[in-house]
């Protein structure tokens, strides 16, 4: 059994996203009650606390010239402060909308320990990637070494040193997903994700959230408005404004929703 001190929940953020922290941890406390793992909130200078949660702020600071660090340098500094073997990577706009399957997270963590896997992504959403079902673990799919989405920043379990290995200085999150993916394609490492047939197709998730709550610095209505209202979370949305989909994006969202409903009705 994995000791609770072997995993740290890393909520990657930045001081300018401070308005997300209260909603994030309010929902986290509701949908993952009695979470046994310590939490690190990655910030530059600010601190934050929430009743009942063991939150430490990394406060990684600025670079030598006093300027704000870029995305990858902030994350590298934060990871270097963490002493646990494993990290559960999250971002501050992954707002939970249902209960976490905590026992399955523990099971997957034990699999990583037993098998030496480097990464298990818990919110894979790319349905057409060349993933292969695991012959040993029915709830897992292996992420192909040649996958265009081998590296991703959705919720996932990582061996801390392996995530640190793939990070390089002076990259944005988008660049890490692009160039980190290229780096990972050259390495025979053990990357897995949840079984999309079992989880996504039946609209059940291990760590349930709408990816993501903020798009291009603005609130994304489908992810936050009704959810925050349901839980009486007060946010001044006018400070960021809302990200608006264009007509084509709205059509794609509608089609995806209808397809999900068809799968749920007719596919066991």
Token pair, residue 148, equals: 């265009």
Which domain CATH number covers 136?
Answer: 3.90.550
pLDDT of residue 260: 45
Parent domain of 137: 4-266
The number of domains in the chain is 1
- Walking along the chain (268 residues) 10 residues at a time, the average pLDDT comes out as 88 97 98 96 96 96 74 96 97 98 97 97 77 92 90 96 97 94 94 92 92 94 96 96 70 51 43
85 in Cβ contact with 163 (< 8 Å): no
pLDDT of residue 245: 72
Cα–Cα distance for residue pair 131/144, rounded to 1 Å: 5
Whole-structure pTM value: 0.89
pLDDT of residue 266: 45
| Dihedral sign of CA atoms 214, 217, 220, 224 in order | positive
Cα–Cα distance for residue pair 35/7, rounded to 1 Å: 11
pLDDT of residue 202: 85
């Amino acid at each position: 059994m994995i000791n609770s001190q072997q995993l740290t929940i890393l909520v990657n953020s930045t001081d300018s996203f401070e308005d997300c922290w209260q909603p994030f941890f309010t929902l986290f406390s509701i949908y993952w009650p009695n979470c046994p793992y310590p939490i690190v909130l990655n910030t530059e200078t600010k601190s934050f606390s929430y009743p009942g949660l063991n939150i430490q702020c990394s406060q990684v600071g600025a670079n030598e010239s006093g300027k704000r660090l870029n995305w990858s340098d902030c994350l590298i500094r934060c990871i270097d402060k963490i002493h646990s073997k494993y990290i559960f990577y999250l971002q501050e706009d992954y707002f939970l909308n249902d209960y976490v399957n905590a026992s399955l997270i523990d099971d997957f963590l034990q699999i990583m320990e037993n098998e030496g896997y480097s990464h298990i992504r818990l919110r894979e959403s790319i349905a057409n990637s060349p993933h292969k079902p695991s012959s040993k673990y029915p709830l897992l799919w292996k992420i192909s070494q040649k996958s265009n989405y081998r590296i991703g920043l959705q919720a996932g379990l990582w061996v801390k040193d392996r995530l640190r290995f793939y990070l390089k200085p002076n990259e944005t999150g988008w660049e890490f997903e692009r160039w980190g993916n290229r780096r990972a394609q050259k390495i025979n490492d053990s990357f897995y994700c949840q079984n999309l047939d079992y989880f996504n197709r039946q609209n059940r998730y291990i760590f349930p959230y709408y990816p993501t709550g903020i798009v291009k610095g603005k609130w994304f209505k489908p992810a936050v408005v009704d959810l925050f209202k349901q839980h009486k979370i007060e946010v001044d949305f006018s400070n960021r404004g809302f990200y608006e989909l264009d007509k084509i994006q709205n059509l794609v969202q509608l089609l995806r929703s209808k397809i999900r409903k068809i799968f749920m009705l007719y596919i066991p």
